[in-house]
Amino acid sequence: MIQLPTLIKRWLRLLHRRRDNIEAAEVSVRELAFVILLATVVIGSAFMIAYHFVRPAPPDHFVISTGNETGAYHLFGQRYRDLLAQEKIEVELSPSTGSVENLSRLDDPESGVDVALIQGGIASAEQEHPVRSLGAIYYEPLWVFYRGTAELTRLTQLAGKRIAAGPEGSGTRVLAVNMLKASGATGRNLIMSPLAGKAAADALIAGQIDAALFVAASDAPIVQQLLKADDIRLMSLAHAEALAQRFSYLSPVTLLRGTVDIASDIPPRNVNMVAVTAHLVARADFHPALVSVLLQAATKVHNGAGVFHKAGEFPAARGGDFPISEDAARYYKSGPPFLQRYMPFWVANLIERLLVLLVPLIAVLIPMMRIMPALYDWRVKRKIFRWYRELKEVEVSLHDAAGTADTAALLKRLDEIEVGVAEIRVPLTYWDYVYTLRGHIDLVRARLIGTQAAPVAPLKPPPDR
């Protein structure tokens, strides 16, 4: 039968062993927490540095300045808006008087306008604009309609007539003034009316004006109306090639016979015309991700064949009055980003931004996964190895040159080292190092005791090599 004192001793030993295990576990947790905290700080710092170089997320809203609400620019703006709404991007249309006002809005950072459609040839070469072209989107022919039965083929024949060429600030007005001036029609009782769009077409049909100039697509309602109106004729420019040579932003184009309506033979003959190129432009700081998604929409709208161009000719990487955007040039060269070809824009953009962050994080995380175990191992072992320094000092003192080491003092120091080792709290997996250290302490103690019988020879320095 087990006596009571024995039970008490066993119970105390169990409590002591349990306390040692708990303390060892606390040490393990503490060291592990330190290593994890350090790794978190390093990875967090890498994340912040990477985030610093990541561009802000693209906005889900931007403003595009179009033109007259009955014109082609506004119509195309509506198509862009509908397509981008499918990508969860809100496009706000801002009507204007035309290209000149659109450019003025882009020049003004307080206008809130980010994108605009602009007719080629309206920018001043002497003035710098914070604008980049996203590409040419289609030809805009100049339609010169006039009343009367006599055939007119030169702009100079409009001298002395009442002409509607759009309001001040419109691209049509700028183009008309330049061409009429080059043709010698200005300054000869020429009356310029600010009428534009349907108002100008109705005034021409009613006889209130003699001619009207429009920059519009062939399918524009006012163009279709005037092509089919009685007593209204479309001028075939005899100097179309010469005008295109004079003004670099003009291109000679031909409206082929029957193109508008084959059954009605409209027009009844080939018509020589000139055309400017419409450009999609944006502020220089327009978000690169929005450049890509906007050009995808523009491709769907303008990629088909037209009266004056073949399928696939537009949109094109032509800057016109402004340098082409680097992001737009990249789009024309390589197409949309890989992920945007298969995913909605917002999903693809989110993944792209995360990849930009994850690449440097992974570059830091892989080395950290190797360093963390080694760091943890070192922090635990240093609790043991620091006593080896003390033990080495005792051994060196034992081998003093005169062999007069104070054996009693050194034995006392060994006892202190042994007590210190006994108080070490490390995880169980490291206790083999503790027992090895105790064995080394016993070894040095045995040598110390042996010095009482015979002096210890001093240590010899290692031979020179």
CATH of the domain at 325: 3.40.190.10
Q: Are residues 325 and 372 in the same domain?
A: no
Q: Are residues 228 and 260 in the same domain?
A: yes
Mean pLDDT computed over 167-185: 86
Confidence of residue 7 (pLDDT cuts 50, 70, 90): very low
Cα 346 from Cα 174, distance rounded (Å):
40
Contact between 94 and 66 under an 8 Å Cβ cutoff? The reply is yes
- The yes-or-no verdict on residue 15 having pLDDT over 90 is no
Cα 323 from Cα 134, distance rounded (Å):
9
Residue type, 384: I
Q: Are residues 243 and 332 in the same domain?
A: yes
Mean pLDDT computed over 228-234: 92
pLDDT tens profile 134-154: 999 999 899 999 998 889 999
Return the SS3 of 2.
coil
128 φ, ψ (degrees, to nearest 5): -85, 140
Q: Are residues 268 and 181 in the same domain?
A: yes
Average pLDDT, the chain: 83
Return the SS3 of 243.
helix
Who has greater pLDDT, 241 or 160?
Answer: 241
Q: Are residues 321 and 363 in the same domain?
A: no
pLDDT tens profile 433-442: 888 988 888 8
Contact between 460 and 402 under an 8 Å Cβ cutoff? The reply is no
Closest CA to 115 of 81, 85, 147, 141: 81
Q: Are residues 169 and 311 in the same domain?
A: yes
- The yes-or-no verdict on residue 459 having pLDDT over 60 is no
Query: What pLDDT does 125 receive?
Result: 67
DSSP state of 218: T
Q: Is residue 463 part of a domain?
A: no
Q: Is residue 342 part of a domain?
A: no
Query: What pLDDT does 363 receive?
Result: 75
- The yes-or-no verdict on residue 330 having pLDDT over 70 is yes
Mean pLDDT computed over 176-198: 85
Q: Are residues 137 and 197 in the same domain?
A: yes
Q: Is residue 122 part of a domain?
A: yes
Residue 425 token pair: 């709290």
Q: What is the pTM of this model?
A: 0.63
335 φ, ψ (degrees, to nearest 5): 80, -175
Q: Are residues 112 and 198 in the same domain?
A: yes
Who has greater pLDDT, 303 or 4?
Answer: 303
Q: Is residue 459 part of a domain?
A: no
Non-local (6+) Cβ contacts of 317 within 8 A are 135, 324, 328, 329, 332, 333
Cα 154 from Cα 237, distance rounded (Å):
6
Query: What pLDDT does 55 receive?
Result: 62
Confidence of residue 163 (pLDDT cuts 50, 70, 90): very high
Decide which of 303, 336, 369 is a domain's last residue: 336
- The yes-or-no verdict on residue 342 having pLDDT over 80 is no
- The yes-or-no verdict on residue 305 having pLDDT over 90 is no
Torsion angle of C-alpha atoms 187, 180, 176, 320, degrees rounded to 10: -130
DSSP state of 32: H
Q: Is residue 455 part of a domain?
A: no
Please report, for residues 104, 105, 113, 300, the alpha-carbon distance to residue 110 in angstroms, rounded to integers and kept in the order given: 11, 8, 8, 31
Query: What pLDDT does 300 receive?
Result: 93
Q: Is residue 461 part of a domain?
A: no
Q: Are residues 73 and 164 in the same domain?
A: yes
Decide which of 336, 368, 385 is a domain's last residue: 336
Query: What pLDDT does 334 receive?
Result: 87
User: Domains in the chain: how many in total?
Assistant: 2
Please report, for residues 14, 224, 325, 337, the alpha-carbon distance to residue 5 in angstroms, rounded to integers and kept in the order given: 14, 116, 91, 81
Q: Are residues 104 and 157 in the same domain?
A: yes
Question: Bridge partners of 274?
Answer: 252
Please count the other Cβ atoms lying within 10 Å of the Cβ belonging to residue 310: 9
Q: Are residues 211 and 256 in the same domain?
A: yes
Q: Quote the Cα angle for 144-149-155, to 5°.
A: 35
Who has greater pLDDT, 34 or 37?
Answer: 37
Q: Are residues 322 and 220 in the same domain?
A: yes
Residue 8 token pair: 């008490």
Confidence of residue 423 (pLDDT cuts 50, 70, 90): confident
Q: What sections of 53-138 are H helices per DSSP?
A: 72-85, 99-107
Residue 354 token pair: 């995360």
Confidence of residue 4 (pLDDT cuts 50, 70, 90): very low
pLDDT tens profile 250-299: 999 999 999 888 998 989 999 999 999 999 999 999 988 899 999 999 99
Please report, for residues 70, 408, 449, 460, the alpha-carbon distance to residue 452 in angstroms, rounded to integers and kept in the order given: 115, 10, 6, 21
Q: Is residue 42 part of a domain?
A: yes
- The yes-or-no verdict on residue 127 having pLDDT over 90 is no
Q: Domain containing 69: what range?
A: 61-336
Decide which of 286, 308, 336 is a domain's last residue: 336
Confidence of residue 422 (pLDDT cuts 50, 70, 90): confident
pLDDT tens profile 374-389: 887 888 888 888 888 8
Return the SS3 of 233.
strand
Q: Which helix (H) or strand (E) segment is 274 a member of?
A: strand 271-283
Q: Is residue 80 part of a domain?
A: yes
Contact between 434 and 424 under an 8 Å Cβ cutoff? The reply is yes
Cα 414 from Cα 419, distance rounded (Å):
9
Contact between 379 and 402 under an 8 Å Cβ cutoff? The reply is no
pLDDT tens profile 43-99: 777 777 766 666 666 788 999 999 888 778 898 999 999 999 998 899 999 999 888
Cα 296 from Cα 336, distance rounded (Å):
7
